[in-house]
Amino acid sequence: MYDLFYIRHRLHKRAYQHRVNKVIEHMIAEAFLKADGHIEIEGSGGRMFTLSTAFKNMEAYTKLTDNVFEQILKSSRPELQEAREILQNIVSRKIYKFVGERKPKTIKDWKSQITGWKEVLAQPLPDEEENNLKPEDVEILVINMDYGMKDENPVGHMHFYSKKEPDVAKPMSPENASRIRTMIFSEQLIRVFCKKIDEQSVEAARQQFEQWLRMEPNLVGPEGN
């Protein structure tokens, strides 16, 4: 069972939560947010819904398919220009550039700190008078991965049957569990991306990232990762 949860974690780390996958997912969400008020979906009784409200009506929700991506991409409407440009960048692989990541000590209130982190990342380096990066040029994604129960050991909540008592399920006693097993069941990753994809901006963002790590000791985990 430990192997099962370990494999689940590795799949999330290597595939489902891979940095390229996550940044494309974020860019699609960003485009949909910009298009939200400009796309109408008809629901039951002729009622109209936006992308963000379609889930409130089952008929409208069933129309919320991958076609929305193509609808925005092929549209010539000026109000969808920003959303269209983001999706065009995804199709042409002009995605946000990965700058770096860290495994910090778990930061539970990270959402309230995102704005401040972006402002720090956009500050000039000590030997620079100004920086060509602005806070809106930086994207920070926080990824939480675990064994399915946050910080808890899921195997500790499982019951097992034995050959001696095939009709009785009991938790596994500590002496019967393998001594070779993990003691930490969750980890957090903070990933930084640069929306500007030219080499100069990306290199500046990498230098800012290293400076940021020195200024924020909580971003360095117990093993210095």
Interatomic CA distance for residues 185 and 187, integer angstroms:
7
pLDDT band at 105; cut points 50, 70, 90: confident
**pLDDT tens, residue by residue, 109-121:** 888 989 999 998 8
Give the DSSP letter string of 44-61.
GGG-EE-TTTGGGSHHHH
Task: Compute CA distances 152 → 23, 139, 142, whole Å.
Answer: 28, 30, 20
- 84 vs 124, residue with greater confidence: 84
Please tell me the pTM assigned to this model: 0.84
63 contacts 51 by C-beta, under 8 angstroms: no
Evaluate whether the domain defined by 96-225 bears CATH number 3.20.20.10.
Answer: no
Q: Where are the domains of the chain?
A: 1-95, 96-225
Interatomic CA distance for residues 68 and 54, integer angstroms:
12
**pLDDT tens, residue by residue, 39-95:** 999 999 999 999 999 999 999 999 999 999 999 999 999 999 999 999 999 999 999
**Which residues on adjacent β-strands are paired with residue 8?**
none
What token pair was written down for 7?
């494999």
